[in-house]
Structure 1
Amino acid sequence: MPHSLEKAAPDSYADSPFVDAISVVAMPKGFTNPNMTLFNGTTDPFDHVSQYKQRMMIVMVVGHVKEACMCKGFGSTLSGPALRWLVNLPNRSISIFADLVNAFTQQFASSRKQQKHAGDLYRIVQGANEIIGEYNTRFYNEKVAVRECDVSTVVEVFRRGLHHESDLYKQLTMHPCHSFEVVQEKAAATIRLEEDILARASIPSMPSVSSTSAIEKLSRKQSTGKKEERYRPYGRGVNRIDNREEN
């Protein structure tokens, strides 16, 4: 036998997970909820909270209602299971935004991304046909995911991951850097060179250096060949001497 639908209590409109000091605060005139991807419980809850805080920083809210706005606006960024979780929180169980964040991240801790460590950076190696720009982007994206990592370790891992025949590897080996910012400056210079070479190679009317050199070598060879035919050290004179001996 199917269960009967649960009916809402007459005073359910007053249900709120927030204490009265938060729930009764009127939202400021002109307040708009932050425009961001809704959290449904499948993505990293810490990333969602960080993004929410950043979006709320640009909202003009007076100091004494900031806490209430942070709490009451958070529900507009949830959907599906996450929104049901918020609605089902015990009445008046949240008194500050920190309590809401702690309960939220604990509830969806299983969706948190795996913590990156410095050792994970050793897995990033430049491919045989991978340009410096692609390698640098992959490395940087992994680096920012590592929360704590020694600068010298990052610099050394970046150098080791480069192909041993690349010019950037040789530069960083001969002239070691002590900051990742300097490494990025040298990488940027190499990337500009790569982009320029690729751009020049895409122009069919412009001969490359190698082809130009080949043309010059061929011209010199042909010119040298003609001179050899014109200025032979011997020639008809030898034939004349042979003819005289025969006579």
Structure 2
Amino acid sequence: MPKVDLYDGTTDPQLHLDNFSALMVLHRYDNTVLCRAFLSTLRGAGRLWFNSLPTNSIESFDQLSDCFFEHFQTQTAPKKTSANLISVKQRPEETICVYLSRFNREALEIKNISSEVKMTALQGDIKDKYLLKLIYKRPPLSFAELMNRAEKYATMNEALLLTYPKSGEKRKSEMEVVNKSPSETSKKQKTEQTGFLNRQVARVDFNWDQFTRLTV
């Protein structure tokens, strides 16, 4: 008999049923064999439940499956929605490649989610201004296109950082300037202007003998 992970009552019962059925469907076993084979995939709480079933109470594997799911349904994994996808944020120091991979894995676990929702969720959290510029300059027509372009950009970006590490520092400094508040930016500009004027004044070589001393 094909092997399947043992069920101990602590995980999703539907997932276990799906895995068991997928392995057994090709062999066309009858109900008796399926029920006995199912017992061999149980341990702990799962086996205790099976052994507690009244004698001659099960007539088919479908009935056994229903009883199994009903008993362990509290362990069913909650269904993920678009809210789960929107909550996927890029972590500090997480590369774009890693973030995109994590986002895509989460999106694949959500049933019946539209391409538009996935695109909105992803675009709403992209922090790289260069990538955003590329996206908004030529808006993608589908989530697949968006992921393809974002992944190509991320791969190229990481390759450049490996070749030219200082370019990454430059980008980081640029992002810090963009993220600064207007007051901080204006204060910095004022300081730079003052420093510029001071440097210009310092360059002037005054000849004080050309001026008439003021006497009062």
Please give the TM-score of this superposition, normalised by the length of structure 1.
0.59
- Compared CA separation, residues 49 and 178, structure 1 to 2 (3 A): farther
1:129 corresponds to: 93
For residues 131 and 83 of structure 1, the distance between their equivalents in structure 2, rounded to whole angstroms, comes to 45
Structure 1 residue 35: deviation in Å?
A: 2.3
Cα shift readout 1:148-193 (whole Å, capped 9, x = no counterpart): 31221111111112115241x3333332233222222113312321
Query: What is residue 117 of structure 1 aligned with on the other side?
Result: 81
Q: Work out which of the residue numbers 32, 40, 47 in structure 2 matches 1:83.
A: 47
Of residues 56, 60, 77 in structure 2, which corresponds to 1:92?
56
Alpha-carbon spacing, 1:162–1:83, altered in 2? closer, same or farther (3 Å): same
**2 CA distance for matches of 1:199 and 1:94?**
63
Aligned residue for 1:162, secondary structure, equals coil
Q: Number of matched residues?
A: 168
Distance in 2 (alpha carbons) for counterparts of 1:197 and 1:173:
23
1:45 pairs with 2:45: no
User: Which residue among 147, 153, 159 is the counterpart of 1:196?
Assistant: 159
Matched, 1:149 2:113: yes
Contact 1:152 1:179 in 2 (8 A): yes
**Displacement of 1:68:** 4.1
Query: How far does residue 92 in structure 1 lie from its aligned partner after superposition?
Result: 2.5
Aligned CA RMSD, in angstroms, stands at: 2.5
Give 1:36 deviation, angstroms: 3.0
Structure 2: tracts of 5 or more residues without a match: 169-216
Alpha-carbon distance in 1 for matches of 2:35, 2:145: 42
In proportion to residue count, which structure has more helix? 2
Q: 1:162 to 1:66 in 2, by over 3 A?
A: farther
**Is residue 170 of structure 1 aligned with residue 138 of structure 2?**
no
Give the distance between the partners of 1:55 and 1:163, measured in 2 at CA: 44
In 2: Cα distance, 1:55 partner to 1:195 partner? 41
Secondary structure of the structure 2 residue equivalent to 1:36: coil
Number of the residue aligned with 1:35: 3
Which residue number in structure 2 is paired with residue 55 of structure 1? 23
In 2, the alpha carbon distance for the partners of 1:92 and 1:166 equals 68
Distance 2:64 2:134 in 1: 51
Q: Among all aligned residue pairs of Structure 1 and Structure 2, give the percentage whose two residues are the same amino acid.
A: 24
Give the TM-score, by structure 2 length.
Answer: 0.67
Aligned twin of 1:239: none
